[in-house]
Amino acid sequence: MTARRVRRLVAHEGRLLASIVRWVARRPHGVGPGPGRGRAFGYARGQGAMMFGFGFVCVLESACMAVLLRNHPAVHRVVLALDVYTLLLVVGLHAASVTRPHVLGDTVLRVRRAAHVDLRVPLSAITSVRRELVTTHERTEGRLDLAVAAQTTVTLELATPVRHFTFLGRRQNVRVIRFHADESDELVRAIRDVMPALTPTLTRERTAPSPSPGRPG
């Protein structure tokens, strides 16, 4: 692993731990008045049970290891420290999802996923936005899927691609972005309100074609 990737991993873990502090203090990142800020739209509601399950597994594993290593205190201390740090990262992942919501500003939509995705999409680049529930996501060139609990609920199509960097720094140009929002209908309406000039081209959701009328008898 290169030094650059190590730095990215360390920075990511630092953001996760800092998110716990923000969560306790109830200070979401990038929300409110001011440059680069705007209205928040959360996406963490659907993953709460899953993250609680991960945390429970970490606690259970730590208890089991304490029993197995009760005659090896030095090893147990090392394992316990690793278990506690792992639990902190799990809590930090959920905290980052809560404190780093999607943010809709006057000119930019920030599409986020915990502490590792913060994609700034110029509103002027959006040609279509719709509420679209998708539960299967195949990797496709030029499309970014940010699923929560294995589903996305909002689809953006762009006139010009935006640059996205993967977790380990690989560059990717995307024209279609699918992501989850707890209040997806409200987010789509808010984008439409911010962009009145594009209202005719913005679609709320994909609908099936109407059936052809039957032949008169």
pLDDT tens, residue by residue, 49-65: 888 898 999 999 999 99
Structure tokens at 14: 């630092």
- Each residue of 160-200: pLDDT tens digit? 999 998 887 789 999 999 999 999 999 999 998 887 655 44
Please measure the distance between the N-terminal and C-terminal CA atoms of the chain and give it in whole angstroms.
73
**pLDDT the model gives residue 200:** 46
Per the CB < 8 A criterion, the answer to whether 156 and 125 are in contact is no
- Taking all residues of the chain, what is their mean pLDDT, rounded to a whole number? 87
Work out the pLDDT band at 1, boundaries 50, 70, 90. Answer: low
Is the pLDDT higher at 7 or at 152? 152
Q: What is the pLDDT of residue 202?
A: 52
Cα–Cα distance measured from residue 161 to residue 176, given in angstroms and rounded to the nearest whole number:
8
> pLDDT exceeding 70 applies to what percent of the chain?
89
**pLDDT higher than 80, residue 38:** yes
